Structure 1
Amino acid sequence: MKQIDLMKQTERKKKVLAALCAVLCTGLLSGCSSGGVLDSKEKNEQLKDTILETYDALIGGAGTAVLTPERSLEGRLTRGEDDYTGSYRASYTEFTGTEVLFGGTTLKREEGGTLELTCSLSLESGKAEVLLRSGSDDPEILLSGSGEYTGTWEVDGESTYIGVRCEDAVGELFIQIE
């Protein structure tokens, strides 16, 4: 539950940053459009691109902070090209907790916004759920108990995380995201 609370706090911080960025952008662009330093459309576009890139970097850093540190994970995480992709394999022995494994916050992911998730969960006892949290929505349960799941989702424009929540879980978990 701590990770879910942390994700909610991060979401609030991102909204404050977004509001601050919007105020700064409005002030900068409106003050520069009539005979100021930036009086050409091209320079205004460059400024807008720079502001969006800076904002994306800010929220991207905040998004990474939500992920469970690798040293605290029960299993082995192998990162892919970024925090959204890779694989995770865990053998749980009476594990209780939440692990936020993949995801982040980005305006536009360089590698494309569509991701494919494949996971399998084999429980001997206890409870476990593979969760998807997108934007400010409540987490969606993709897989609960033993079984397999395959699906795709879009990550551009909002925070998106994949994690697992366990209660006295004994069993195996495998997640692959490409």
Structure 2
Amino acid sequence: MRIFKNAAVILLALCLLSGLSGCCGNKTGTEWKEELLGSWNNFMQDFSRYALTSDGDLQGKKLPGRDGYTGTYEAAYESWSGTEYLFGGTALERSAGDKLSVSYTLQIASGTAAIRWIERGQEHVLADADAESASEITLNAGDNYFLLKGEDFTGSLHMDIK
């Protein structure tokens, strides 16, 4: 979170410098605003990929989709404890739209596990017991991450987000 705050300070400083320079060209205030918001959105989307668990640290195999929000994940767990940030990102507006089709199968042999969706800092539990489900989720601006939390978890997860 500290990195995002530092990035916001840098972006604000750049905005102030460009405004003070007097070099506005032929752009209107609205055009400058749209360009700035677009640049900020692109920066956030690019930077937010670092919040996801790296492929090498995942317990299973991840096949990426068109962006960080989509793909397929398959894993078997044996007495595993931790959190894996599988899919998601941070954006003002996702370039591929705000609708996602989410399907998953969670099987818990022992321990505990939960599939969660973090939306703007709020955690929503999608499943915390054996489950097989498919649904459509509408993303809001800001953080949207899909993760698995486990405590001494033995079982499996298959997740597909399109």
TM-score (norm 2): 0.86
Three-state SS of the structure 2 residue aligned to 1:90 is: strand
1:57-115 CA distance string (max 9 Å, x none): 32223311110000111111011101100110111111111110000111211111111
Which residue does the alignment assign to 1:170?
Answer: 154
Deviation at 1:156, TM superposition (A): 4.6
Amino acid at match of 1:73: L
Which one of the candidate residues 88, 92, 98 is aligned to 2:73?
88
Which residue does the alignment assign to 2:4?
Answer: 14
Counterparts of 2:60 and 2:132, CA distance in 1: 18
Amino acid at match of 2:32: L
* Number of residues of Structure 1 aligned to a counterpart in Structure 2: 162
Amino acid at match of 1:38: C
Tell me if 1:75 matches 2:60: yes
Amino acid at match of 1:18: A
| 2:119–2:140 Cα contact (<8 Å) kept | no
Question: What is the RMSD computed on CA atoms of the aligned residues?
Answer: 2.2
Of the structure 1 ranges 84-93 and 45-54, higher mean CA displacement relative to structure 2 is found in: 45-54
Structure with higher strand content: 2
Query: Alpha carbons of 1:15 and 1:113: their partners in 2 closer, same or farther (altered >3 Å)?
Result: farther
Amino acid at match of 1:123: I
Structure 1 unaligned regions, length at least 5: 1-9
Counterparts of 1:25 and 1:154, CA distance in 2: 31
1:21-52 CA distance string (max 9 Å, x none): 346436645x58xxx43265x44444333322
Tell me if 1:64 matches 2:49: yes
Of the structure 1 ranges 81-90 and 15-24, higher mean CA displacement relative to structure 2 is found in: 15-24
Counterparts of 1:80 and 1:118, CA distance in 2: 14
Which residue does the alignment assign to 2:136?
Answer: 152
Counterparts of 1:102 and 1:89, CA distance in 2: 13
Deviation at 1:169, TM superposition (A): 1.2
Counterparts of 1:163 and 1:39, CA distance in 2: 45
Structure with higher helix content: 1
Deviation at 1:173, TM superposition (A): 0.6
| 1:107–1:157 Cα contact (<8 Å) kept | yes
Amino acid at match of 1:88: Y
Counterparts of 2:155 and 2:66, CA distance in 1: 28
Amino acid at match of 1:170: T
Three-state SS of the structure 2 residue aligned to 1:129 is: strand
Which residue does the alignment assign to 2:23?
Answer: 37
Tell me if 1:48 matches 2:38: no
Query: Alpha carbons of 1:78 and 1:39: their partners in 2 closer, same or farther (altered >3 Å)?
Result: closer
Counterparts of 1:39 and 1:69, CA distance in 2: 42
| 1:109–1:156 Cα contact (<8 Å) kept | no
